[in-house]
Structure 1
């Protein structure tokens, strides 16, 4: 078990399950890759190893990104937002970030944007 620095742990605002959302972004392009969840242990592992580690809510276990797929996230920077309730992890993504094989978890379902008409055009 890795211990999170108490100064960092004291700033985190966790949900009732003890988790904080982690927005993951490609460090050099700003592309948003995915959203993961971290508890103190996952964040401590991420900070000490330089590889992104998350808590899998579905499997109820730690998930070292790329351990089975080879799609590793090399951590370049970790930030905490102004409220302490969201972590930003800037990474160098190797391969796909999404479990579906897409580059990002936001590639498949455009709800609104340049390629889709706005509310006025839809009536």
Structure 2
């Protein structure tokens, strides 16, 4: 009640995503799922820790400021990882282009062609001798 929500938003948060006509009233700790009465009846009958939402929420202290700081820290770390990976991709592309240039234009191509000619000559000479 401290954070005003639109009626549509509040309704969408409290309606079961499986049973669209049912309101979420229970929490299954065994599966970490919010449930309506039909969900409990169909899927959580054997679960030990199914409790009404008010009871499940009781005693839970949520420090949203710490959560926000933690989320921001995680986001910052993810951005650093993303930047690092993007830099690595750029470096690999430069390295790839350099190696490609060496193969196409450089000595590597000449050496490979020369080696293949030597193999061909050796094979032809060996075949003619026998």
* Higher relative contact order, structure no. (Cα contacts within 8 Å, ≥ 6 residues apart): 1
Q: Report which of the two has the higher share of strand.
A: 1
Q: Report which of the two has the higher share of helix.
A: 2
Structure exhibiting the larger radius of gyration computed from Cα positions: 2
